[in-house]
Chain A
Amino acid sequence: MTAPHADQLIDGYLARLNAAASDLPKAARQELLDDVGAHITEARARESEETDAVILNILDRLGEPATVVADAGERLGVRPPQPYRPGVLEILAVILVPFFWPVGVILLWISPAWHWRDKLIGTLVPPGGYLGVSVLALVAVSGRSGGCITMTNAAGAVIQNTCSHTVPSWLQTLAAVVLTIVVYALPLITAGYLAIRLRWGRQPQAVLA
């Protein structure tokens, strides 16, 4: 007969073990989970009558997941993961992303020091760094006449020329100035952001000594 909460208790234990073993190399963690799973099956088969208390005793004898994993780490000679140390590559990436976009972005993606989300932000905000901003500015300037509608007749003579100026021109100028500042500061803000995010680094997988 099966204990009323056997599956819950065992699944809970294995989940805690799995979580505690997150720093172990994948293969070692899987092997430990398989071995402990087999152990529990073996131990249960030896009990004539199964109650929740019997299951709890089996798990107690196995030991706290954290204890088992700590022992496994020592036995298997697992070095705790060393945070990646940023160096010249990262400095160059931060400088080149705004000013020399293609090269900067390549360096950004090569470096393991950033999370992929940060790499995406570095690549796309703004796309092309200052090069991209300049292209955008050009497009914006050339598109400024868009507010005017010019109608011509078949002979090419202007019959109507309406420019919609619903917004006061000083407000437009102010908006343009603010927008310009924001757009031109954006590559630098992104570079600053990348420099800040660098410090946390990315945790490489634990390795067997």
Chain B
Amino acid sequence: MRVPADGLVSQMRRGALEYCVMALVQQTPRYAFEMIEALGQTGMLTTEGTLYPLLSRLRRDGLVKTEWRESTDGPPRRYYELTAEGRRALTAFRVEWVGFRAAVDGILQEARKS
């Protein structure tokens, strides 16, 4: 059954996905398929094809940079890595997210008690 929050949740997931992807390449460069495998188990990415426009967007905005690397078992792969600007954006999001999550959690729990 469709609940009214469906649209909101999918929009939130869509927005948060950008930062999840950035977080995935914060420590080590990864190629797209690796990210899909990592995201696949979380339910954050239901339509795998939509990751590619997202990555293009991040690259266009200068939040990630890319580099082609040879692969031992196939054609070269494009690796994505967080830029300094991406790092700043991710840090800002972390702060916002923690505050937002705490506020919503607090209100939802408060409402349940009363």
A37 to chain B, nearest CB (A): 10
The stretch from A67-75, A108-116, A118-126, A140-148 touching chain B is A67-75
Judge whether A38 and B49 touch: CB under 8 Å: no
User: B48, B73, B78 — which one has the most chain A CB atoms within 10 A of its CB?
Assistant: B48
What residues of B have a CB within 8 angstroms of the CB of A28 in the complex? Answer: 53, 56
Q: Which one of A38, A41, A76 lies within 8 Å of B57 (CB-CB)?
A: A76
Q: Does A167 contact B (CB under 8 A)?
A: no
Q: Of all chain A residues, which has the CB nearest B78? A: A38
Within 71-114 of B, Cβ neighbours of A (below 8 Å) are at: 73-75, 77-78
Chain A binding surface, main DSSP class:
helix
Bound: A38/B66 CA distance, A: 15
Given contacts A39-B52, A41-B75, A42-B74, contact A68 B47 (CB under 8 A): yes
What residues of B have a CB within 8 angstroms of the CB of A17 in the complex? Answer: 49
Judge whether B50 and A39 touch: CB under 8 Å: no
Judge whether B48 and A62 touch: CB under 8 Å: yes
User: A17, A64, A65, A68 — which one has the most chain B CB atoms within 10 A of its CB?
Assistant: A68
Given contacts A63-B47, A63-B48, A67-B47, contact A39 B53 (CB under 8 A): no
Bound: A63/B36 CA distance, A: 13
Given contacts A45-B74, A63-B47, contact A76 B52 (CB under 8 A): no
Judge whether B53 and A32 touch: CB under 8 Å: yes
Q: Does A131 contact B (CB under 8 A)?
A: no
> What would 12 more interface pairs be, CB under 8 Å, given A62-B49, A68-B50?
A28-B53, A32-B53, A32-B56, A35-B55, A39-B52, A45-B74, A61-B48, A63-B46, A68-B52, A68-B53, A71-B47, A71-B53
Closest 10 pairs between A and B when the two form their complex, measured CB to CB: A63-B47, A72-B53, A68-B49, A35-B52, A62-B49, A71-B50, A75-B53, A42-B33, A63-B49, A75-B57
7 A–B contacts from the bound complex (CB under 8 Å)? A36-B49, A38-B77, A39-B49, A41-B74, A41-B75, A68-B52, A68-B53
- The chain B residues found within 8 Å of chain A, CB to CB, are 31-33, 36, 46-50, 52-57, 60, 73-75, 77-78
- The chain A residues found within 8 Å of chain B, CB to CB, are 17, 28, 31-32, 35-36, 38-39, 41-43, 45, 61-65, 67-68, 71-72, 75-76
